[in-house]
Every structure is written in structure tokens, then in C-alpha cells.
Amino acid sequence: MRKPDRGTLLILTAPSGTGKSTLVEMLLDRVPELTFSVSYTTRTPRPHETNGKDYFFVDEATFSRMEEENKFLEYALVHGHHYGTSEELIEQHLTERRDVLLDVDVQGATQIMRKRPEAVSVFLLPPSFQELRRRLEGRGTENAETIRRRLERARREVHHCPEFNYIVVNDEPEETYEEMRAIIIAERTRPARRKTTINAIISTF
């Protein structure tokens, strides 16, 4: 595979419970040259999560210091916890010509889209509000009040989807994966991202 001159910054966002984490796992497992951006968070790790792989888990003081030092490309307060994306790590991956996948909430995605207009943004929609409720309740990891707050937030978030480059409906996992993979491949072949390859080939004519 011919690499682009520089990696692509891919933003993936969705209401909580839409199935974003499952999609991210599928993409990272199957799409070559795709790197996951590990965010910083102040929340407690869940049983299946590993520090440095799923998130960098830090305390409030550490997060505040990084924020004051402008270390974050974006940061947000979500459901009572802070989340932030390291700009230095992102830039390192892009310079090394790897595509970087960001799994962020709508608030964080909006911040990045303002700072990095070249980023490719994808909004993952659930098939319906009723299906989102079913998925959240089926996880069995949150109480009724937490689910209520997540659903209320989702009602607000879905209205932002027209602001994104692409909208994918997560109805069936394999179909959703194929749509997202197609977006990544299409973005990799844009002329602006392959100038070196194009110029090298043209020079042979």
C-alpha cells in the first residue's frame, strides 16, 4: 500500500450507547496503518480497561496541569469526568504517516473541527431513539438515572450530525464497518494527501 504524505485525522463521534467502541475495535483490527488516539481521562477504569491502551487514567490535578499547559487538542467534561486528547501524540502519528482515529464526544469533535478543518469527521447514528435506549439498558452497567442523562444528552447531540463530513447509521455491525472502511480508503486517495506519489509517477511520463 502506498502511504500518503501525511496521516489523516479521523474523528468518530456518537451518542453514548450507539456502538462506537465496537466499531473502533473492528477498524483497528482490520484496517492497516490505522492508529487509535488514546485519550486522557479522570474517570475510574472499568473492569476490562487498561491504562495506556483504552485511556490514560489520571487524577484531577494532573489533568488540570495539562490543560493549563495547553497540552490538549480538545478536552471536555462528560458525565462528571474530564476527557482530553493529547495534541503532541496526534501530531507524532500524523507526521509518521499513520491515520489517527479519534473516539470523542460531540463537544470534543466540534473543538477539533474548528482547530483542524482538514480533519475527516464521522457521526455515528443509532437506528432510532428506542434502539439506543434498548442498547443502554442492555449493557447493565449503569443505573436508571445515568441512562436517563445519557438519553437526554443524545437527544441534543443528534441534531449536530449535519455538521459532520459523513453520517453512518449503526444498524448492523458488519455493514457499519464496511461503510467506515470505505470512508477511510476514499480519504487516503485524495490528491492533496498523495502529492509525493502522484509527482513521482507523473515524472516517469
Please, what is the average pLDDT of the chain? Answer: 92
Q: Where are the domains of the chain?
A: 9-37+99-202
> pTM of the entire structure?
0.85
What residues contact residue 164 under an 8 Å CB cut-off, 6+ apart? 11, 13, 109, 121, 122, 123
Categorize the per-residue pLDDT at 158 as very low, low, confident or very high, splitting at 50, 70 and 90: very high
Categorize the per-residue pLDDT at 62 as very low, low, confident or very high, splitting at 50, 70 and 90.
very high
Contact 56, 89 (CB under 8 A): no
User: For residue range 10-36, what is the model confidence (pLDDT) as tens digits?
Assistant: 999 999 899 998 999 999 999 999 999
CA distance 159 to 155: 7
Q: What is the DSSP letter of 112?
A: H
Name residue 102's beta-bridge partners: 11
Element spanning 120, H or E? strand 120-125
Mean pLDDT of 90-100: 93
In which band, very low, low, confident or very high, does the pLDDT at 1 lie, cut at 50, 70 and 90? low
What's the CATH number of domain 9-37+99-202, 3.40.50.300, 2.70.98.20, 1.10.510.10, 3.60.110.10?
Answer: 3.40.50.300
Q: Which three cell numbers stand for residue 70?
A: 495547553
Query: Which pLDDT tens digit goes with each residue over 173-200?
Result: 999 999 999 999 999 999 988 898 899 9
